[in-house]
Structure 1
Amino acid sequence: MELKLGSLISPLGIARLFQILFSCTAFSLVAAHESYHNSYGAWSMFTWCLCFAVSIIVVVVELIGVAESLPLSWQDFTSAFSMLAALMIFTTSIVYPSVFIPGRCRSDGCSYEAAATAMSCFCFVAYAVEVGLTRAKEGEVSSFLASVPGLLKVFEAYVACLIFSLVDFTKSYTRHAGLQWCLAVYCICFIITLLIIILTVGRCLAALPIPLDKTLVGYNLLAVLMYVTAAIVWPIYSFRNFPRPSPCNANTCAEWNNRLGVTFLTFFNLIAYIVDLVYSSKMVFVTTPA
């Protein structure tokens, strides 16, 4: 077995080495100071550890040159993971310092937390660089998940996961049929989008007996229409007879803030599906003259 040392010194390989370094440093600092005692800390540790472990695997697979023999589309997998990792690290880089730094700085200092946050931000930059390096350029024949529509699929699925976490916290969807419809929209679109990602990584999407490109355009159109209804219905039923509490603090405003968070995330995903529809329609129906 011949080692492909060139994979380590390429721009992509260097970005992955930085990902490993920064994620390892981030969770090591937090573990050393035991600053992960609640669910937000557990999420942050999970994110850093997952990204560290998977990046190690990616680097090793690239180094020993066995990617082609794996029963999956390696380029689709690495493109999807780098996008997912960038989103997870970005979220962690915002959530962790906002939860842990204020309290620590008022008591026994927050140098460990601040350093971990800095490493997390650097790690996000490293994953963003990988996304930029592997993204398929316009007119380039590449894997689906390396294209703009493919990267948007990962973004849409991740935002849906964030919505689920906030919706589950509020439990507000149990009170109105309109909110239950919104939850159904989030679930249906998430399941189909996740299925598309899994089938693509597993090299199964192209084997389906359907006109794939036009089917994806049709699904994106349906998702846009469904999210339009959710973007209208969710805020109407969420905030009707439920004004912002006054005074507002971490305890009294928790549910209201989560409802507001779901509202913004719904609009983010609506925009993502619209952009996805535009790009996928352009790829299918707009031909470039030779």
Structure 2
Amino acid sequence: MGIVLHSSPLLWTRLAAMAFSCVAFSVAVHGAKLEHGTGDWCIFCWAFSFAGTLLVILVELFGLQTKAPVSWKNFPITFACYAALLCLSASIIFPLYFLKGLSGSSTIRDYRIVVTAFSCLATVAYISEVSISKARPGEVAGYMATGPGLLKVCETFVACVIFVFVSDPVLYDRHDALKYCMAVYCICFILSAAIILLCIGECTGCLPFPFPRFLSAAIILLCIGECTGCLPFPFPRFLSAYAMLAVVLYLLATIIWPIFNFDPRHRGNKNRPYSCSTQLGLCSWDKGMTVAVLTGVNFILYLADLIYSTRLVFEKQEVKVAVCSK
């Protein structure tokens, strides 16, 4: 088994991302003194990104792409996009929880500043990797390297972040309308776990119901495994139907969540409590506002996804008409 080393901007970008994420979690573990679970999450983001990038580099270094159990056209850019989002979230969360309120000069503060800086550098490196790897016009590439594929990654990640914020403390149990929003946010993740287990066991053909048509995570899994040709319906039409459903659901959630969280007529508080200014990290009001913003972000992502997917369907129909008219 020979070693294949091709120096390229993509390789150097991956090496930089791996180095930056390694420094971030190493310094955090060594001297940042992270006391609670938020620090563990940030360390996971950096360590997971480092380990995944190392795996991608080793597979390509030893020329094992054809032996990998996933589509190598889709997996590296999918992972890089998730790593960019993970490092971005850590770069935002870490200073909020571990630099906010610290003043003066101290060794712990210096360590935490270094961690934040290298986390930001890792984020930039992973974004650069995605930019280098994404499909160019006219280029034959995997679905995950295209705009709709990258949007799927962002949609699932944003939904996951929303789920974290609404669950600690619980922000959705005061009204049935908020429970609807929670259902929109998390139902795909409840079903995604079952889909992943079914796909690992190759049991999707044994299901007593049609394969689920409304999960971004399932779409990503199908594309990574290059299984879209096995679906009993046209994949582009499925993407359009899925995106349309998601746009409607998120539009309602974008309207409902702020009304029932911040309108005084629904036991909400439109003004930020004074206690939030002195509290470590984000208070409940801040988390509710963050969820409202992220819901709007995901609505925009799904809307862009719908536009991409609809255009894809019409382009394919135009090609068929042109072929039939000849």
**Band of TM-score, shorter chain:** over 0.9
AA aligned opposite 2:143: F
Tell me what 2:14 maps to.
Answer: 16
Query: Which of 313, 317, 323 is the aligned partner of 1:284?
Result: 313
For the residue of structure 2 that corresponds to 1:172, the secondary structure is coil
Q: How does 1:185-264 map to 2 (within 5 A)?
A: 185-189=184-188, 191=192, 192-239=215-262, 240-243=266-269, 244=271, 246-249=273-276, 250-251=278-279, 254-264=283-293
Give the TM-score normalised by structure 1: 0.93
Q: Which has the higher helix share?
A: 1
Cα shift readout 1:238-278 (whole Å, capped 9, x = no counterpart): 22322135423255971111111110000000000001111
The answer (yes or no) to whether the contact 2:273–2:285 under 8 Å persists in 1 is no
**Structure 2 contact 246–302 (Cα < 8 Å) conserved:** yes
Q: 1 CA distance for matches of 2:102 and 2:288?
A: 28
Deviations along 1:202-233, one digit per CA (max 9) or x if unpaired, are: 22222111111111111101110111111111
Where do 1:1-290 residues align within 5 Å?
1-6=1-6, 9-106=7-104, 108-109=106-107, 110-189=109-188, 191=192, 192-239=215-262, 240-243=266-269, 244=271, 246-249=273-276, 250-251=278-279, 254-286=283-315
Residue segments in structure 1 that go unaligned for 5+ positions in a row: none
Give structure 2 stretches of 5+ with no counterpart.
193-214
The number of residue pairs the alignment matches comes to 288
Does the 8 Å CA contact 2:87/2:120 hold for their aligned counterparts? yes
Paired with 1:201 and 1:39, the residues of 2 have a C-alpha distance of: 31
Q: 1:99 to 1:251 in 2, by over 3 A?
A: closer
CA contact (8 A) 1:36 1:45 kept: no
What residue identity is the alignment partner of 2:181? C
The 1:123/1:68 distance shift into structure 2, 3 A limit, reads same
Q: Which runs of 4+ in 1 moved over 3 A?
A: 102-107, 188-191, 250-253, 286-289
1:23-78 Cα shifts (integer Å, max 9, x gaps): 11111111221432212211111111111111111100000001111121122111
2:197 corresponding residue in structure 1: none
TM-score normalised by structure 2 residue count: 0.83
Q: Name the amino acid aligned to 2:182.
A: L
Task: Report if the CA contact (8 A) 2:21-2:119 is conserved.
Answer: yes
Q: 1:18 to 1:170 in 2, by over 3 A?
A: same
Whether the 8 Å CA contact 1:189–1:223 is kept in 2: the answer is no
